[in-house]
Chains A and B, each alone.
Chain A
Amino acid sequence: MFVLILAFGCVAAVLPVLASRIGRGVFYVAAAVPAAAFIWGVGAYGQISDSAPLIEQAAWVPQLGLTLGLRFDGFAFLMLSLVAGIGVLVFLYAGSYFHAEPIIGRFAATLLLFSGSMVGLVLADNLLALFLFWELTSITSYLLISIEDEKTAARSGAMQALLITGMGGLAMLGGFVLLGEAAGTYSMAELLERPPSGSVVNVALLLVLIGAFTKSAQVPFHSWLPRAMNAPTPVSSYLHSATMVTAGVYLVARFTPAFADYSVWRPLVISFGLASMLIGAYRSLRQHDLKLLLAYGTISQLGLMMLLFGVGTKESIFAGCTLLLAHGIFKAALFMLVGIIDHQSKTRDLRKLDRLGAQWPVVTATAGVVAASMAGIPPLFGFLAKEEALGALGETGFAWGVPVLIGVVIGSSLTVAYSARFVWGAFGPRPVSMIPHQGFVRNEAVGQQVPKPSKMFLAPVFVLAVLTLLFGLFPSLIDPVIARAYASLVGVRAEHHLALWHGFTQALALSAVAIGAGFALFSWRLRVEKLQDSMPQVPSAQRGYDRTVKGLLEGADAVTGFVQHGSLPIYLGVILLTMIVLPGIPLLSDGVMPDLWFADSPMQVVVGLIMIVCACAAAVARRRFAAVLLVGAVGYGMAALFVIQGAPDLAITQLLIETLGVGVFVLAFRHLPADFVRSKFRRSQGVQIAIALLAGVFVFLFTLFAIGARTEPSISGEYLDKAYSEAGGNNVVNVIVVDFRGFDTMGEIVVLAVAALGVAALVRAKRSPAEVEP
């Protein structure tokens, strides 16, 4: 499995080079990789059973105990076949969609990288690895949306997608870490087998759900998905309908058997799912751009999937698996169709399309089949999925079962309506259109001739349409796959089977109601549009996103303006106060007072007093040289203290340095005025003194406690012993400097050399006229 994932990356690496040679043939090369993955998946499917998945493990960071585990089970196969199968078709489709644009090498490579990350995501067992692949899909999605980087809309759409999904991803990572720590393992299989308990788990689940909701474009995080439609259609068809956006659903599906009974799970997943289903479908009804219509439809369908998995009963999980597959098939096909229409007629605005149906009868029929599958009309696969959903929701046994069921029926009828609207919008005759705030307007482009798409272009759509028809007519073809996916999620064999005809059930009746209501809505479409148009404008998620980003930038600006005001003394004051307060508090509470005596020797008191007086005098000195000399005197005092302390080396060095130092001070200051300029900022002097005193008190206490904090004897005993025997020197300080800690000294002389060269450069630098200011 590792080889499989790596293969995606390796082939992706050569695609850009290849593209410059063979042009769009590169897509057919790329298609081979998901095809291989699909074939591998089918082969591996034969080796697994309901309870025995295929497991591969590799040490990732052994020092941290991180193991990268991959796990191939029934549900992973379902996802893999979606990712790889639709991947093959999308690459073939892209071969006709693009001409010889210069971006195709980059595009094919990024798309293949995405494909690989998605395969990794569905195979990953380690939560952190899952997160890694999750973020990789976000990043490749960002790159793919903005692939035509000269378009502003593509760039900002990509950024929005990245910001929202990235934010969710971060939250999810937090959730994973909490879960992993609570359970003591980062393996998803072990986590789900023994789910941890405690209130922290609820927080963790909430965070994980934020990740899932943002990725699967659930209301109110959905605004990125419509804007991601600025991407080329193969991307929309692959990432933003069939695979990447289902990652959130995938995660919920994995987690739901173990976590459905936790208090945050059902209420959140069901309410967000239902809201997304209804709002998505409602918004879809008023779109004029066919791609946007489908995008809102996707939000709606994802909402339904979320809801089904969130309910977490056996039947609903089974229905969720079915819908996941059905949706992948029909939605990818529909996006491809929009791409074809866009490609051939240069528009996807349904107000500018007219009578395509008469010109392209075969395409229209195909679109009709696929859209009918989306609407849930028998005998198509989508109908089966919807039947399962309605059936499962009818038998939840929960008190909220009925309202949710009613909501889903309403959502389904809206789905029927927008499916019909899609077919009519793309292919039907349209003499007039409703334009917001303008009423009904006659269409301009009536009866235009549009060139027919090539057979290669249509082939992937046909394949998907045939699949949705086949699986609908012969459910037993696909039933084992779904049953195994279900079994790997729930842990027990499915007793339920997909069937076209279950008898006269409640679900069938509800389906009929939904279809009837949907067509009624469609036939009153002009009135519906007018009604929607007259509705008060609710705050849209897009505006919410814009406001958030704007607020963030404004906030950052305000903070920068507040923090970075440009006064050096204030910066220093803040830094010093932080230094005093933050370590000061633990110091006072935990410090250990050492044994104290007044002074080491009378000399120390004398020298110390002189130093203190000199230092204070230096602080108030008006004359520059007086201050320099006073500080020099403090330095000589230091030398004396070193002698008392028993450090002759230090004393010598300090004495010499001070002598030289005073000389350098004098040399540098001799051009400056003799007196310090009286500062303009006299008022702040009180504050300065206060900070200085506080710092003094802090350092005093720190010094006292620092000695008390010593728990181990000094390591110098060893140095004392070894200095002569190993380094051949009696002067232990010197031996430490040049031998035991010679590397430090090496660094030090580098600093000295650099400082000296810096001084030379600063002094020698000429004055440039621009720099001179009076």
Chain B
Amino acid sequence: MTQRRSVILDLCVQAEFHTLLLLSLYLLFAGHNQPGGGFAGGLVASCAFGLRYVAGGSSALSRSISIPATTFLGVGMLFAILTGCVSLLTGHEFLESAIFSAEFMFIGKVKTSSVLFFDIGVYLVVLGMSLLLLQQLGGADGTDPDEVQP
């Protein structure tokens, strides 16, 4: 596989990778007011890792991220559930949102909502799922001793 690696693709992916991750974060945070949100952001991030895989195979994928995919799943679920529980604890309905706004130096007024944390949870779950798929279905060649050659 490594012999047939395309240099152009490799370089392009390296250039794009971080841009895509940034874009995914933008979508995540803008999602409450503009098109986007946790799902879209998570999927863009997944595509970034997908590109890594396409360019360099599963080894490139594992080099690009050291946190296990299941950690993303777990932390994401935790985020989502805790957001809901916090609003329960403060005497609101499960997942009822609270709006915060604050003045920051240089940036100006920032207004956000507690459901942003919920959306972060969604983002992480989606990303974790895609990573798991890529690693499992994608890693099934060569590294797996039970792999069957057709």
Interface SS of A by simple majority = helix
In the complex, the answer to whether A750 meets B32 with C-beta atoms within 8 Å is no
A583→B20 CA distance, assembly (Å): 47
Closest residue on chain B to residue A734 by CB atoms = B37
* Chain B 64-79 interface 0/1 with A at a Cβ cutoff of 8 Å (1 = within): 0000011001001100
A743 partner, pick from B44, B95, B146, beta carbons under 8 A: B95
- The answer to whether the Cβ of B86 comes within 8 Å of any Cβ in the partner chain is no
Kindly identify, within residues 705 to 737 of chain A, every residue whose CB is under 8 Å from any CB belonging to chain B.
726-731, 733-735, 737
Interface residues of A in 737-754 (CB under 8 A from B): 737-739, 742-743, 745-746, 749-750, 752-753
Chain B residues contacting A727 (CB-CB under 8 Å) are 97, 99, 113, 115
B129 and A656 contact, CB distance less than 8 A: no
Stretch at the interface among A29-37, A131-139, A480-488, A661-669: A661-669
Q: Complex Cα distance A737/B84, Å?
A: 14
Q: How far is the CA of A305 from the CA of B111 in the complex (A)?
A: 85
Tell me if B126 and A752 are in contact (CB < 8 A): yes
User: Are A728 and B99 touching (Cβ within 8 A)?
Assistant: yes
The answer to the question of B43 belonging to the interface, with a C-beta cut-off of 8 Å to chain A, is: yes
Cβ contact of B95, chosen from A656, A726, A746, cutoff 8 A: A746
Q: Given A729-B32, A731-B33, A667–B137 Cβ distance below 8 Å?
A: yes
CB atoms of B137 and A730 under 8 A apart: no
Please provide the chain A residues from 637 to 669 with a CB less than 8 Å away from any CB of chain B in the complex: 648-649, 652-653, 656-657, 659-660, 663-664, 667-668
B54 contact set on A, CB distance < 8 A = 663
B37, B44, B121, B148 interface centre (most CB from chain A within 10 Å): B37
In the complex, A678 has a CB within 8 A of chain B: no
When the two chains form the complex, which single residue of A659, A730, A755 contacts B33, counting CB atoms closer than 8 Å? A730
**Is A760 a contact of B35 with CB atoms below 8 Å?**
no
Which of A731, A742, A743 has the most CB atoms of chain B within a 10 A radius of its CB?
A742
In the assembly, what is the distance between CA of A663 and CA of B113, in Å? 35
Q: Are A664 and B137 in contact (CB under 8 A)?
A: yes
Q: Which residue of B lies closest to A765 (CB)?
A: B146
Report which of A652, A734, A749, A766 forms a contact with B121, defined as CB distance below 8 A. Answer: A749
Asked whether A753 lies within 8 Å of B150 as measured between CB atoms, the reply is no
Find the A residue at minimum CB distance from B77: A753
User: CB-nearest residue of chain B relative to A657?
Assistant: B43
Given contacts A730-B32, A731-B33, A745-B122, contact A738 B137 (CB under 8 A): no
Cα of A657 to Cα of B129 in the assembled complex, Å:
12
State how many angstroms separate the Cβ of A404 from the closest Cβ of chain B: 72
**Out of B34, B121, B126, B138, which one reaches A731, CB within 8 Å?**
B34
Structural contact, B32 and A731, CB atoms closer than 8 A: yes
Contacts A673-B150, A738-B118 given; does A653 touch B47 at CB 8 Å: no
A767 contacts B by Cβ under 8 Å? yes
Known: A730-B32, A735-B32, A752-B126. A653 touches B43 (CB 8 A): yes
Across the interface, do A764 and B136 meet the contact criterion of CB distance under 8 Å? yes
Q: Determine the residue in chain A with the shortest Cβ distance to B81.
A: A746
A756 interface hit (Cβ, 8 Å): yes
**Contact residues in A for B77 (Cβ distance below 8 Å):** 749-750, 753
How far is B129's CA from A749's CA once the two chains are assembled, in angstroms? 10
Residue of A whose beta carbon sits closest to that of B138 = A667
Chain A residues near B84 (CB, 8 Å)? 742, 746
Q: Indicate the size class of the contact surface on chain B.
A: 35 or more
A656 and B73 contacting across the interface, CB-CB below 8 Å: no
Interface of B is mostly: helix
Q: Contacts A660-B43, A742-B118 hold; do A671 and B150 have CB atoms under 8 A apart?
A: yes
Query: Which residue in B33, B95, B122, B129 is a CB contact (below 8 Å) of A739?
Result: B95
Residue pair B36, A734 in contact (C-beta under 8 Å): yes
Q: Mark A187-221, 1 if CB is under 8 A from B, else 0.
A: 00000000000000000000000000000000000
Q: How large is the interface on A (under 10, 10 to 19, 20 to 34, 35 or more residues)?
A: 35 or more
* A743 and B40 alpha carbons, distance in the complex (Å): 19
User: Is the Cβ of A731 less than 8 Å from the Cβ of B31?
Assistant: yes
Tell me the complex Cα distance, A750–B73, Å. 9
How far, in whole Å, are A652 and B44 apart by their CA atoms in the complex? 9
A757 within 8 A of partner (CB) = yes
Q: Name the distance in Å between B57's Cβ and chain A's nearest Cβ.
A: 11
Determine if B112 is an interface residue (Cβ-Cβ < 8 Å).
Answer: yes
A738 to B32, CA, bound (A): 9
* Chain A, residue nearest B30 (CB): A731
* A668 close to B137 (CB less than 8 A): yes
With a cutoff of 8 Å between Cβ atoms, the chain A residues found around residue B39 in the complex are: 653, 737
Taking CB atoms, residues of chain A closer than 8 Å to B31 are 731, 734
* B136 near A753: Cβ-Cβ < 8 Å: no
CA distance A730 to B31 in the complex (A): 9
| Contact among B38, B43, B149 with A656 in the assembled complex (CB-CB below 8 Å) | B43
Chain A CB within 8 A of B80 CB: yes
Task: Please tell me if the beta carbons of B150 and A672 are within 8 angstroms of each other in the complex.
Answer: yes
- B133: Cβ under 8 A from any A Cβ: yes
- Give Cα distance in the complex from A674 to B44, angstroms: 30
Given known A-B contacts A652-B35, A727-B113, A728-B113, A757 and B40 have beta carbons under 8 A apart = no
A667 — nearest CB in chain B belongs to which residue?
B137
CA–CA, A760 and B141, complex, Å:
14
B43 smallest CB distance to A (angstroms): 4
> Chain A contacts of B149 at CB under 8 A?
671
A731 touches B37 (CB 8 A): yes
Is B56 close to A, CB under 8 A? no
Q: A663: which B residues are within 8 A, CB to CB? A: 50, 54, 134
* Distance, CA A653 to CA B39, complexed state (A): 7
A671 (CB) vs chain B CBs: closest residue: B150
* B97: contacting residue among A737, A739, A757, CB under 8 A: A739
B119 touches A756 (CB 8 A): no
Contacts of B38 in A (CB 8 A): 738
CB distance from A58 to the nearest CB of B (A): 36
Q: Does A763 touch B at the CB level, under 8 Å?
A: yes
**Is B37 within 8 A of A753, CB to CB?**
no
Against A, the Cβ 8 Å flags (1 = close, 0 = not) of B92-122 are 0011110100000000000111010011011
Most chain B beta carbons < 10 A, residue from A663, A670, A764:
A663
A731 to chain B, nearest CB (A): 6
- List chain B residues, Cβ under 8 A from A670: 141
B140 within 8 A of A: yes
Chain B residues in 8 Å Cβ range of A752: 125-126, 129
CB distance from A647 to the nearest CB of B (A): 9
- Is A699 interfacial (CB-CB < 8 Å)? no
Nearest CB of B to A504, in Å:
88
Distance between Cα atoms of A653 and B122 in the complex (Å): 13
Interface residue? A759 (CB, 8 A): yes
State whether A734 touches B32 (Cβ < 8 A). Answer: yes
Chain A contacts for B96, CB-based, 8 A: 739
Q: Which residues of chain B are near A728, meaning CB under 8 Å? A: 32, 97, 99, 111-113
- Asked if B21 lies at the interface with its beta carbon under 8 angstroms from chain A, I say no
Q: Which residues of A contact B138 (CB under 8 A)?
A: 667
Question: Known interface pairs A745-B122, A749-B121. Does A729 touch B33 (Cβ–Cβ under 8 Å)?
Answer: yes
User: Which 3 pairs of residues, A with B, have the shortest CB-CB distance?
Assistant: A656-B43, A742-B95, A729-B32
Other CB < 8 Å A-B pairs besides A728-B111, A734-B32, A763-B140, 14 of them? A648-B35, A652-B40, A656-B40, A660-B47, A728-B97, A729-B113, A731-B34, A738-B32, A739-B97, A742-B115, A745-B80, A752-B129, A753-B77, A757-B132
A interface residues (Cβ-Cβ under 8 A, vs B): 648-649, 652-653, 656-657, 659-660, 663-664, 667-668, 670-673, 726-731, 733-735, 737-739, 742-743, 745-746, 749-750, 752-753, 755-757, 759-760, 763-764, 766-767
20 cross-chain CB contacts under 8 A:
A649-B35, A653-B40, A656-B40, A656-B44, A667-B134, A667-B138, A668-B137, A672-B150, A727-B99, A728-B111, A731-B31, A734-B36, A737-B39, A739-B115, A745-B118, A752-B126, A756-B129, A757-B73, A759-B132, A759-B137
